[in-house]
Structure 1
Amino acid sequence: MKYRHLAGIFALTLVGCASQPTSTPFEPSQHWVTQTLDNGLTYHLYPDSNESVSIRLYVHAGSFQETLRQAGYAHYVEHMAFNGSIHYEHNDVIDMVAKSGGQFGADLNAYTNYSQTVYQLDLPDNQHMDDALLWMRDIADGLTFDPQEVEKEKGIILGEFRFRRSEPDTLYEHFADGSDYLTYDPLGNRSNVQMATADGLREFYQTWYQPQLTEVIITGNITLEQGEKWVRQYFSDWKQGTTPRPTRPALSQQNTSDLIYTASAGDAPRLSLFYPQGEIRIADQETLLEYRFDEIATRLMEHRLQNAFYNAALPTQDLAAFNYNTDDQRYTELTIAFPVEQRAASQSLFLNTLASLRDHGATQQELDMVLQSYRDDLENFDWYRSQLTPNTLADDRVYAISYDEVLPSDLEYKKGLKALLSASTLKRINQHLNAFLTVNPMIELVGAESEDLNTLEKSTDSLRQILQQPGLMETVSQVDTPFLSPAAPGDIVHTQTFSNYPDLTQWTLSNGVEVYYLRSSHAGDDVYLRYASLGGASALPRDLYPAGQLAVNVASRSGLGNLSNVQLNNYLKENNIYLGPYINETSHGVEMSANKKQLGNVFALLNQLTREIHVDDNQLASVKSETIQAIEQDKASPAGQLLYAINHGSYTEGSKHWLFSEADYQQVTPEQIYQVHHELFQKQRNNTLVIVANTSPVELQTLLRQYVGSLQFDAGSTPDFSVGYRDPIQARLELPINNHANTQYFVRMIAPVRTADAKTVFMDDLLMRIVNKRLTAVVRENQSLDYSPFAMAVNSDSEHGVDWILSASVEPADAQKVENAFDEVIQSLAQSISADETAIVAKQLITDLNNMQKNASGMAWYINRYVINDFGLDAALDMEATTRSITASDLTQRAQQIFGASATKQKVLMTPQPDAI
């Protein structure tokens, strides 16, 4: 369930339906307490039993409150909140949050929009509330605007332009054409940023940062008395100002004429239809009901379109139906992307399918499968409600403030779901679909380089004519027995429990499959499965590598058991089952989840997928076409060209990481897909099934014997986990191919060291946090070269070596500076890691691991990972002890392995094309 309160899922009015004769406002949630101080500051408190605490400072000032001379100032002031105040010098607030177990970016952040600036702080507990609220009060009236800090921040904000405005948002700019939303971009403009002064920013700050324009939100591990005491202690003496609170802007007049343009390099040709849905804000039960009708219609359209393209085996790069939001209005977008040579066929099928749904409606089976998620929401409401975290609650309040919405009570929410399920008859939903699809939509046509835009523009009339033609009735046959019966059942030959982890049980089946069952209340009424083993591409012969990359999509679209592809899609949705098979470089398997009432069907699916797949020739041809198109798009884009240059300059052709050519994929045969399935899913390589649920072990044991223990496997050889690097790897690559006026800089560190156990995995996580912190400190905060430098590991588990990438995007003139800065960071890492750094990141990791234990799906992945890679499950489960066992000396030694003299360093620069500067 995507439980996002009124703030997230209640958001528009119905197109094409009569206005409601009554209006039933929402009863507000009693969990929230809202009060106003004498100085006009409003505060919202939500005490609950979570250990963590979230704080938000909401200022009713954004880019709409700027003069044209101040364009970008609201956002600039937001940045300065992290760069010096009465009680926190420079970046001291970042250090304060880090020591509490939080992280800059994930737990400490801020954003500026058109009408608001919001500061966000999430803490793992309430031990640092005074420090946190002291900073929030500093934001209120204690920012210092040191001229040197203001000047330094310019480089970071210009870096944010590179980060957020690297590609034009053609669609949004089209909708906003002629409106204030285009004039008052929250980032402002480069020239204003470069000319900004401390005095100018302070003037804006003092005008708009006033208590009557501010709201404070605190959720989580507090009492009501504590919350009120804290708010009064830190904010009651803030002097009230005279600036009136801005009124909510009127709905913007948006440009909904057709849009035709050429795709950016790397993007596919596309047809999209946009149906206007009115204002985002929802204020009453009637509007909510109409919104949900529209949501149901959108899901039905997406489902019918998916089935149509599955059945026709037409290649697609994207096929979806979803909400597209501008700042104050919502649209439903129906979109299809395709190979250019398939434009006519794809557009015709797309439009004819919608016409059929408009004229003949959905079937009861289709409606039932869509309504199932709402039934689950109602049935499991209390459990979903109990899983809400303080940061989610705080963000929902922020949304409600932004759109002047009421957060409804639990009773109101349930009442709305009951009303929906009662009203959603097939007749009413089909009337809604008819009204929805009778509206004339805005058309977006995105052309390939080879297509003439004038021709595309002239085609819009014919597209509308196709859509207006009477639709044909569509039928799908039903299957009584979806899957083959399993073979003779196996048995459970060994049971093991874990004294330090009493909720975990291990069963060994007679066919060698190891099963781990974690009984967790955090699973609610759902069940999460992760079946996997070592292998992936590493277990395949080289001639099957391309087939291995196609196999999942081909098999998924070819049906399963007695089900065709369309019937399989229907079956999964009817039973609300998620099925996600995968093949990675070093592992393969399937991820599944469903309501535990579907346990039998989930196990039957797993049994069928492992025993036998289908390969349809037409689906194979379609997946080949999609893959080849994606390669061609990549090669047409600077990012893709860079990727291929790095890849082919780093790996041998025999490496599983080698990027193959179009011809390699074109030659894949059905027999090779079957061979991939046999090699990976029908051989025994420490095959492991992890189940996380809150159900009886006895029921699981019966299903395990019948559906998993009955599986038969051939013996699998030990995979070769060598990477296949070239020797030597080119030390420096410079490619003048960037079509933007910036330089992308990368440093790659490759070291022939193994990740042998859980402690080493934890060490790499800690080290990654330290690397990113040092990069941010040197590249962003000290030298103002980039907004968001980052580091990440790109090697796979069990590979013979580690492979890290550090990256930044800078002005071309700063290329040498960023290279020097990266060298400085890497040299410092190879020298030492301090005890203070180790303690800080260890606390962050423990916080994250504690949070992960509340995530049932995450725990299924976690246990499976440590078991199949033989990292050591006991150490992985004893999370805090393993983390605390890591010393600064351990991290220094690991850092020297990865960043020291024995590692291979590769520097890569993607510089601008001559005409891009």
Structure 2
Amino acid sequence: MKKHNFWIFGLCLFLLGTVQAQNVENKANSANIPQGQIPTDPNVKIGKLENGLTYYIRNNGKPEDKVELRLVVNAGSILENDDQQGLAHFMEHMNFNGTTNFQKNELVDYLQSIGVKFGADLNAYTSFDETVYILPIPSDDPEKLEKGFQILEDWAHNTTLTEEAIDGERGVVLEEYRLGLGPDKRMLQEYLPKMLYGSKYAERLPIGKKDVLENFDYETLRNFYNDWYRPDLMAVVAVGDLDVATLEQKIKDHFGRIEPAKNAPKREEFDLPNHEETFITVASDPEAPFSRVQVMYKDTFKSPAAKTTQDYKDLVVRSLFSTMLNNRLNELRNAANPPFIFGYSYYGGTYARDKKAYQSVAQTSETGQLTALQALLEENERVKRFGFQEGELERAKKELIARMEKAYKDRDKIESGRIVGEYINNYLEEEPIPGIEWEYDFYQKVLPSIELKDVNGLIKNFIHPDNRVIILTGPEKEGLELVKEDEVLALLEEVENAELTAYEDEAVRSELLETKPQAGTIVSEETNADLDYKSFTLSNGAKVTYKITDFKNDEVLFSAFSYGGTSLYSDEDYLNTVYANGGLSQAGIGGLSLNDMNKMMSGKIVGVSPYISSSTEGFRGQAAPKDLETLFQQVYLYFTGLNKDEEAYNSFISKQKSFLGNLMANPNYYYQNEIGKVRNEGNPRFSGFPTPEKLDEADYDLAYAKYQERFADAGDFNFYFVGNIDEAKLKEFAKTYIGSLPGKDSNETFEVPEFRVKDEYQKVVVNKGTDPKSSVQIVWVEETDYDADEALELDALGEVLTIKLIEQLREEIGGVYGVGANGNLRKYPYGNATFSISFPCGPDNVEKLTEAALAETEKLKENGPTAEDLAKVKETYLQERKDKMQQNGFWLSVLQESDEDDMDISRMMSFEERVQALTAEELQEVANKYLDANYFMGVLMPEETE
């Protein structure tokens, strides 16, 4: 099941705009904003059954014929007794392992039969305060819809919790527990008691305790279920392509019959107690790959829910503050001597629902923690003393309104899976749900009224000497001196008394290009009526292909490629440039630095990234329709005006070195590097993981020269656009910014590498790490002629084997949390088939599970897949394709890949027929062709101890 990444929890809140507001001292201009309560979106119907269950329903047509269901339980690990630690999460697992209407494995088996994938679609997560079950189902079949609601109802009150099922799931949950072991958890256990001082949260990590998971009594789990899985602590969310009345009746029919709880325990709320002192934790671990610093200022008061329009304005002001401060931190990141790899600040949630905090976080080099912490503290102090400037505020307003405008324009095209989260948060934390129409209108009216004084005043409420926590985490190794607590305290005092100067907001020019280039012409045009896309060729030879869609109102996706890539480099040049290529774009374009570009792009939804791969070079990008010309201008400048800036490149190298610091001390990274060495024995181009030494040896001048070579001829490029395109403007921009580029009629292709991995049995065991954790990967690689039908068969074989591996290794043996198989047949740079199996597990189980996995492959070779399993895979393919056909990204990849791999694009029109025509005999034949005795097996084992 899903697990929360607590390190980025606050950042996600900031990026997704889900932080709640508190009242602060910025009541000025209140007369200019709408007054009263924040309304509730009229598109959502909210109700409550007599038994106390709450429901949210919304009709939403994207994707077609699908409804997203959620069962939200207002209960998580925080409610566990001492002898229940980990059982909230265990209970989540048990809901997939036997209910009144679905015996063990029947639930997953049924959902797979209707195209719902376990893990990818069907899922759940448990957090401190809630448990949420995720179920997308088809809405165009009454029987499937009824079964979906029956599953949701069973999760709510019909779990059987048999002793056999409980014991059978212990191994799976313990494997998930095992996955969480490592340096991050060891350091978390050091700092969590200080971060969550005096709170029950510090003692209730959702994964729980190993001894409890191994030994809890059956009744202990049943008690948790009976106490907390009850209708007054539940919400059902149903959003999808179905009328509200039908969904509401389904909820009433299935959940109205649940009896209200009697003599139920009170659902308490837990807070974070205040503390006057500053808590500091310096946590280190020999296997920690990265270094981080975090400063946290927890509020001294409980945060009220946002109810009024003034509360909502406070949220907007807070968003402006975060945007401006993070723009400054990003400028520091791009500086000549960056103090951190990246850094950000935000005001948002803590683990406790009723307590917010202001936090600043940075990832650093292993020796740069104090430097990074100083930079964060100084930028906060700079804002406190001098505030922001008008230019910064105006750019931040442009950014916010641009994001809101994009959301507003796409309001009728948003996927149901992106809507349900708002209603979950409304139920659990009273987060307002006014709807994008109201929000966009509010932003338009309120943003002009917000002044610098409104934003500048926030920092004084955010930063205070009490309730302060500072956390440093990173590697522990010989020769590395750890930061001491008194050094941190001294730094706090130093920054408070430091002589700082106000931020200098340097002006940048307003246009990317001051003069337009001489336009080319369109010399020929083509139309594919069957797939509804068009192409034209420009006078310099460049080809532009585009498909106009209405999948999104405010989106145009873009890509481009040309053959060649690094395959045309000599081996020596490749090795000298492979680690420098990533730094090329860090210099900016057209005489503008990255920081200049960020300022200039304020309010624009646009981005372009060049790349050079092993066999191609090209671009990836996207833009709002209104900013499409800017995208073209960026492409033009990446061809003609990529800056060469040693300082910017050295900044990139510095950050890369900081990122790599202790990477090879981490078992997972070390394992992948060692496996790569063995697999690439004799490969003259194998570079392995980057090291500081390799980065120092990278040749920026050569990389820049090679980039110029690769992008010298725009005439052999293919450009692709998919989305809400104005055809006339697209042609105008293409003629101006692509047609004007040099066309040299080079018509380059790529060179096929000579190196091949060994087609023989190999087994490599890598010993690294102290935790009882292992990882297994089994890989078959075979050079072969490409066949499109066989490519589908090999992929389907991977899907079938994944089903069998989950059944055997997870459900039957209980030896893994996750396992998967994947098959892939490629045409370029040469025809080759790859098939792999991978899973993490306990060291004691490696041999048994490997044998079991290989036994499943042998069964497929001997008997082929069962009719039931093949039908599941077919239905999954058809459901996925139905969704993908309404996505711009899918069509962009189809258009480019058909050209790049020289495929017959018309074959996609027969995809459903080809899927339906798949036979067990074909998959069996493919299995026998490729899954032979010549495979590579890599195994990660802990370090051997005496």
The alpha-carbon distance between structure 1 residues 464 and 753, as it changes in their structure 2 partners (threshold 3 A), is farther
The alpha-carbon deviation at position 707 of structure 1 amounts to 0.8
> Is structure 2 residue 788 aligned with structure 1 residue 751?
no
Which runs of 5 or more structure 1 residues have no equivalent in the other structure? none
Q: More displaced, 478-487 or 106-115?
A: 478-487
**Separation of aligned partners in 2, 1:164 and 1:396:** 28
| 1:72-109 Cα distance to aligned partner (Å, 9 max, x none) | 33322222221122221211111221122211112212
Secondary structure, in 3 states, of the residue corresponding to 1:521?
coil
The alpha-carbon distance between structure 1 residues 740 and 202, as it changes in their structure 2 partners (threshold 3 A), is same
Which residue matches 1:366? 392
- Paired residue type of 2:312: L
**Separation of aligned partners in 2, 1:164 and 1:730:** 32
Which residue matches 1:681? 711
Secondary structure, in 3 states, of the residue corresponding to 1:738?
coil
Which residue matches 1:104? 118
Which residue matches 2:814? 784
Which residue matches 1:188? 208
The alpha-carbon distance between structure 1 residues 438 and 144, as it changes in their structure 2 partners (threshold 3 A), is closer
**Separation of aligned partners in 2, 1:199 and 1:395:** 33
Secondary structure, in 3 states, of the residue corresponding to 1:395?
helix
Q: More displaced, 555-564 or 778-787?
A: 555-564
| 1:150-170 Cα distance to aligned partner (Å, 9 max, x none) | 211110010111223443135
- Paired residue type of 1:733: V
The alpha-carbon deviation at position 555 of structure 1 amounts to 2.2
**Separation of aligned partners in 2, 1:413 and 1:477:** 31
The alpha-carbon distance between structure 1 residues 217 and 487, as it changes in their structure 2 partners (threshold 3 A), is closer
Which residue matches 1:880? 912
The alpha-carbon deviation at position 208 of structure 1 amounts to 3.4
1:511 to 534, 540, 545: 540
| 1:496-547 Cα distance to aligned partner (Å, 9 max, x none) | 1112122x11112233322111111123133221122344433432223345
Please say if residues 10 and 288 of structure 1, whose CA atoms lie closer than 8 Å, have aligned partners that are also in contact: no
1:49 to 53, 56, 61: 61
> Is structure 2 residue 179 aligned with structure 1 residue 148?
no
The alpha-carbon distance between structure 1 residues 263 and 372, as it changes in their structure 2 partners (threshold 3 A), is farther
Q: More displaced, 537-546 or 556-565?
A: 537-546
2:473 to 437, 443, 446: 446
Which residue matches 2:851? 820
Secondary structure, in 3 states, of the residue corresponding to 1:522?
coil
Please say if residues 369 and 472 of structure 2, whose CA atoms lie closer than 8 Å, have aligned partners that are also in contact: no
- Paired residue type of 2:695: Y
| 1:800-851 Cα distance to aligned partner (Å, 9 max, x none) | 3244442222222222211112212332344423444333223222322332
- Paired residue type of 2:869: E
**Separation of aligned partners in 2, 1:764 and 1:399:** 42
The alpha-carbon distance between structure 1 residues 75 and 447, as it changes in their structure 2 partners (threshold 3 A), is closer
**Separation of aligned partners in 2, 1:46 and 1:189:** 39
1:119 to 119, 124, 133: 133
Which residue matches 1:809? 840
**Separation of aligned partners in 1, 2:909 and 2:541:** 23
The alpha-carbon deviation at position 907 of structure 1 amounts to 1.6
**Separation of aligned partners in 2, 1:193 and 1:907:** 32
The alpha-carbon distance between structure 1 residues 342 and 404, as it changes in their structure 2 partners (threshold 3 A), is closer
1:12 to 20, 37, 42: 20
Q: More displaced, 76-85 or 830-839?
A: 830-839
- Paired residue type of 2:124: A
| 1:570-591 Cα distance to aligned partner (Å, 9 max, x none) | 2233533223233334433222
The alpha-carbon distance between structure 1 residues 359 and 673, as it changes in their structure 2 partners (threshold 3 A), is farther
Please say if residues 546 and 665 of structure 1, whose CA atoms lie closer than 8 Å, have aligned partners that are also in contact: no
Secondary structure, in 3 states, of the residue corresponding to 2:525?
strand
**Separation of aligned partners in 1, 2:581 and 2:461:** 38
The alpha-carbon distance between structure 1 residues 748 and 88, as it changes in their structure 2 partners (threshold 3 A), is same
The alpha-carbon deviation at position 734 of structure 1 amounts to 1.4
Which residue matches 2:81? 67
The alpha-carbon deviation at position 31 of structure 1 amounts to 2.1
The alpha-carbon distance between structure 1 residues 732 and 486, as it changes in their structure 2 partners (threshold 3 A), is farther
Please say if residues 748 and 806 of structure 1, whose CA atoms lie closer than 8 Å, have aligned partners that are also in contact: yes
Which residue matches 2:558? 529
Please say if residues 538 and 586 of structure 1, whose CA atoms lie closer than 8 Å, have aligned partners that are also in contact: yes
**Separation of aligned partners in 2, 1:207 and 1:411:** 40
The alpha-carbon distance between structure 1 residues 889 and 515, as it changes in their structure 2 partners (threshold 3 A), is farther
Please say if residues 197 and 272 of structure 2, whose CA atoms lie closer than 8 Å, have aligned partners that are also in contact: no
1:491 to 515, 521, 538: 521
Which residue matches 1:856? 888
Which residue matches 1:253? 273
Residues 310-459 of structure 1 aligned to structure 2 (within 5 Å): 310-314=334-338, 316-322=340-346, 325-327=349-351, 328=353, 329-340=355-366, 351-410=377-436, 412-432=438-458, 436=462, 442-449=469-476, 450-453=479-482, 455=484, 457-459=486-488
| 1:288-324 Cα distance to aligned partner (Å, 9 max, x none) | 3223322222221221122234232437433333566
**Separation of aligned partners in 1, 2:192 and 2:861:** 46
2:605 to 576, 582, 585: 576
**Separation of aligned partners in 2, 1:480 and 1:205:** 61
| 1:689-730 Cα distance to aligned partner (Å, 9 max, x none) | 111232321111111111112222452543234473454667
The alpha-carbon deviation at position 381 of structure 1 amounts to 4.6
The alpha-carbon deviation at position 343 of structure 1 amounts to 5.6
Matched pairs, number: 909
> Is structure 2 residue 54 aligned with structure 1 residue 28?
no
Please say if residues 615 and 670 of structure 1, whose CA atoms lie closer than 8 Å, have aligned partners that are also in contact: no
**Separation of aligned partners in 2, 1:687 and 1:613:** 18
**Separation of aligned partners in 2, 1:246 and 1:498:** 64
The alpha-carbon deviation at position 877 of structure 1 amounts to 5.7
**Separation of aligned partners in 2, 1:197 and 1:871:** 59
Please say if residues 227 and 265 of structure 2, whose CA atoms lie closer than 8 Å, have aligned partners that are also in contact: no
Please say if residues 723 and 799 of structure 1, whose CA atoms lie closer than 8 Å, have aligned partners that are also in contact: no
| 1:384-422 Cα distance to aligned partner (Å, 9 max, x none) | 321232333333222221113342245542343235413
1:298 to 305, 322, 344: 322
**Separation of aligned partners in 1, 2:317 and 2:123:** 36
Secondary structure, in 3 states, of the residue corresponding to 1:257?
strand
> Is structure 2 residue 649 aligned with structure 1 residue 590?
no
- Paired residue type of 2:727: P
The alpha-carbon distance between structure 1 residues 296 and 609, as it changes in their structure 2 partners (threshold 3 A), is same
**Separation of aligned partners in 2, 1:154 and 1:808:** 18
The alpha-carbon deviation at position 341 of structure 1 amounts to 5.2
The alpha-carbon distance between structure 1 residues 565 and 376, as it changes in their structure 2 partners (threshold 3 A), is closer
Please say if residues 276 and 331 of structure 1, whose CA atoms lie closer than 8 Å, have aligned partners that are also in contact: yes
> Is structure 2 residue 154 aligned with structure 1 residue 138?
yes
The alpha-carbon deviation at position 798 of structure 1 amounts to 2.3
The alpha-carbon deviation at position 53 of structure 1 amounts to 0.8
**Separation of aligned partners in 1, 2:760 and 2:706:** 31
Please say if residues 60 and 242 of structure 2, whose CA atoms lie closer than 8 Å, have aligned partners that are also in contact: yes
Secondary structure, in 3 states, of the residue corresponding to 1:712?
coil
**Separation of aligned partners in 1, 2:785 and 2:304:** 52
Which residue matches 2:740? 710
| 1:39-89 Cα distance to aligned partner (Å, 9 max, x none) | 443333223334211222233333333322233333222222211222212
**Separation of aligned partners in 2, 1:905 and 1:220:** 45
Please say if residues 7 and 400 of structure 1, whose CA atoms lie closer than 8 Å, have aligned partners that are also in contact: no
**Separation of aligned partners in 1, 2:15 and 2:227:** 29
How high is the TM-score relative to the length of structure 2? Answer: 0.88
Percentage of identical aligned residues: 18
- Paired residue type of 2:19: A
**Separation of aligned partners in 1, 2:754 and 2:428:** 50
The alpha-carbon distance between structure 1 residues 557 and 28, as it changes in their structure 2 partners (threshold 3 A), is same
Q: More displaced, 443-452 or 7-16?
A: 7-16
How high is the TM-score relative to the length of structure 1? Answer: 0.91
Please say if residues 402 and 604 of structure 2, whose CA atoms lie closer than 8 Å, have aligned partners that are also in contact: no
Which residue matches 2:9? none
- Paired residue type of 1:268: F
**Separation of aligned partners in 2, 1:792 and 1:68:** 42
Secondary structure, in 3 states, of the residue corresponding to 1:150?
helix
The alpha-carbon deviation at position 645 of structure 1 amounts to 1.0
Please say if residues 60 and 245 of structure 1, whose CA atoms lie closer than 8 Å, have aligned partners that are also in contact: no
CA RMSD of aligned residues (A): 3.4
Secondary structure, in 3 states, of the residue corresponding to 1:613?
coil
